[in-house]
A and B are shown apart, each in its own frame.
With several copies, the nearest count.
Chain A
C-alpha cells in the first residue's frame, strides 16, 4: 500500500525525523490560507500515488498566496498518469544548499533491509544507479542487530563532510530505519534529503510503501489508505481477498494461483488475444470469492468472454465448480464462459458443472484458444 507524501512525512515526524513543515488542502482557498500562514513563498505539490509529479506539472513554486491559490486551481483535478489529484500539500520553501538521497528497500538476495544513500539526490535515483552506480552507497542491515550506530554514521559520512551535518544525517538515517521497521514498510525514501544554508539537514520529500501483509496488525497504518486512490474494482478485489490487476484487453481471466494466472495471460497473448486482467482467486475454495471475481470481471464493459483456468491442488475443483454455478445463478452474465478444470476432485466438478448445464475442457491451450476465438 502506497502512502501519500503528506502521510509519509507524518510517519517520519512521529519517528523524530527532521521534516519540513506542510499541510494538505483540497481547494484553492485552503491553499491560499496555508500559503499566508507560511509567509507566501510556498511549494504546492499534488498528492497522488505516482512518481514524476514535477514533470507532469503537479509541483509548483509560488512567491505569494495568490499565486499559490492559482497553482492549486491548476493542479487540483488534473490527471497524473491516470490519477486525479484531490489534495495538494503546501509547504514553505527551503533554502536548499545540497540535495542528497536516502532510501530503504528489502533486498531479496541478502534477505534483509538495504539502506541506500547518495550525495546526488533530488533526481531520479534509478538514473543515478544506471549512469553512476558508484555514487550510491548501499548497506545491508542485519535484522538481528538492526541499524547499528556506526553504520548510520558511516553512511552519513558519505553524504556530508561537515561533522555537524553528518551527525544530523546519521540521526535521520537511524530514525528512517526505525520508521521503516516500526510501520512494516516495504520501501521508505527521502528524496531529496537537503542541507540548508543555515546548516540544517531535513527531509523535504517522503515516499513510503507499506507491506500489505503487515496491515492486519497495524490498524493505524491501514487507516491511511486513501479510498479515492483505488478503483472500485481494486477495492472490491481487496475486500474479497483476490489478487487483481486491470489490463486493457477483452479476455477476462479467472485463475487459481499467481503463476498459472500469469501463464494464462501470456497464453492468451500467444494465441493472439488480449487479457483484460490478472486475477488469482487464491488457494481458498470459498464460492463467494468466485462470485466476487465474476462481478469484478463482468463490471468491465470491454470484457467479451470469461476464461476460467483452475488446476486443483489446495483449491478443490468441486468447490470452484460450485462457486461458478452459484455465481452464474446469482448474476446475470451476458457473455460466454469457458472453463477448464483439472486436478483434485476434477470428476466431481465436472458433474456439478454438467448439472448446471456448463461444460469444461481439460487443457489450458484448448480453453485459451476457445476464449480468444469467442472474444473475436
Chain B
C-alpha cells in the first residue's frame, strides 16, 4: 500500500504548458501516473502530448478540468507570483490532494492559501517540495522514478535532493519504499512529519520510517514526541544543518536557526530521546534502516 495517492489517483497539472510543468508531466506519465488533464489559464481548448501516443486536454480553470475529468489530485508548477493562487483555485475546485512544487512563494500568500485549504478540507503537500512517489504506482512532483523501488520503508523529508540521496542508498541496499514524501522546505507547509507518520502508521505495508529533517522550527521535535507516543514500527532519522550558523537562512526559507531554537543538536536530541536512531552521514541512513528491520 501507499499513502495519500496510488495508481488510481487522477492527476491534473497546473502550469502544464510551462518549461518545468511540461517536462515533469511527461516524466510522471512515463512513470505511470494517471495524468488526466492540464490547466493553463488562457490555453484552454488545446491538448498536451504526454507521449508520442497519448494526449490530454488543457483547460482554462481547475474547476473545468475537475468537472470534465473527475480529477482528484493536482500538481502545481507555476511561478511563485501565481502559485498560492493556484493552490487556492485547486482547493476551491474540490481537489482533495494538492502538490505544490514551486519555491519562493511569499509567506503571507501561503497563510491565506493554507487557510482556504483547511476550510475546504483538502491536503496540500508543500510548497517548495519535490512531491510524492509511490514506487511502481504513481509519482506526483519531481522525484526521479529511477531511484526508487518497491519495498517496506516509508520516507518523509523536508528536502529535495537530500531525499534522492537517501532513497538512492536505501534502494541500492535493497530497501524499497512504500511511499517517499517530500514535505517541503518552506516555513509554512500543508503536510507535516506528524501527518505523514500517522498515514504510515495506518499502512500495513510500511515496516519502518525514515525521517529527514533540517534546522529551523520544531516540526522534528513534535514528530519525535508523536513517534514515541503512537508508533510501534522503527524510525530512523537524519538532520541536515549541523554546521549551519545561527540566524542565517540556509537556502530553504524554513531552514533558519532562530536564537537558540531550531538547531540540529536540539532536533537530534529530540529524535534520540524518543527512540529514533539518528544517522551521522546520509549513507548511514540505509545502514540504520536495515538494522532496524533486522535485515
**Interface residues, chain A, CB within 8 Å of chain B?**
106, 108-109, 111-113, 126, 142-145, 148-151, 153-154, 157, 163, 166-167, 181, 184, 186, 211, 213-214, 216-217, 243, 245, 247, 255-263, 265-270, 275, 278, 280, 282-283, 311-315, 342-344, 363-365
Partner of B217, one of A108, A150, A261: A108
**What 0/1 pattern do residues 256 to 295 of B give for CB contact below 8 A with A?**
0001000010000000000000001111000000000000
Q: Tell me, in angstroms, the Cα distance from A89 to B238 when the chains sit together.
A: 46
- Chain B, Cβ-Cβ closest to A180: B108
Do B282 and A283 touch across chains, with their CB atoms under 8 A apart?
Answer: no
Do A106 and B187 touch across chains, with their CB atoms under 8 A apart?
Answer: yes
Q: Tell me, in angstroms, the Cα distance from A270 to B105 when the chains sit together.
A: 34
Select the residue from A213, A278, A343 with max chain B CB neighbours within 10 A.
A213
Do A106 and B142 touch across chains, with their CB atoms under 8 A apart?
Answer: no
Interface residues on B, range: 35 or more
| Contact status of A263 and B244, CB under 8 A, knowing A142-B115, A211-B106 | no
Partner of B282, one of A256, A267, A343: A267
Partner of A243, one of B64, B105, B159, B251: B251
| Contact status of A263 and B282, CB under 8 A, knowing A106-B188, A143-B112, A314-B24 | yes
**What 0/1 pattern do residues 237 to 263 of B give for CB contact below 8 A with A?**
010111111001111111100010000
Name which of B29-37, B80-88, B226-234 contacts chain A: B80-88
| Contact status of A181 and B108, CB under 8 A, knowing A157-B60, A259-B159 | yes
Closest Cβ of chain B: how far from A249's Cβ, in Å? 9
Do B115 and A143 touch across chains, with their CB atoms under 8 A apart?
Answer: yes
Give the A-B pair count, Cβ closer than 8 A: 203
Instruction: Write out the residue numbers on chain B whose beta carbons fall within 8 Å of the beta carbon of A270.
Output: 280-281
Do A111 and B80 touch across chains, with their CB atoms under 8 A apart?
Answer: no
Closest Cβ of chain A: how far from B111's Cβ, in Å? 4
Do A258 and B251 touch across chains, with their CB atoms under 8 A apart?
Answer: yes
Do A108 and B188 touch across chains, with their CB atoms under 8 A apart?
Answer: yes
Closest Cβ of chain A: how far from B38's Cβ, in Å? 15
Do B245 and A247 touch across chains, with their CB atoms under 8 A apart?
Answer: yes
Determine if B151 is an interface residue (Cβ-Cβ < 8 Å). no
Do A259 and B111 touch across chains, with their CB atoms under 8 A apart?
Answer: no
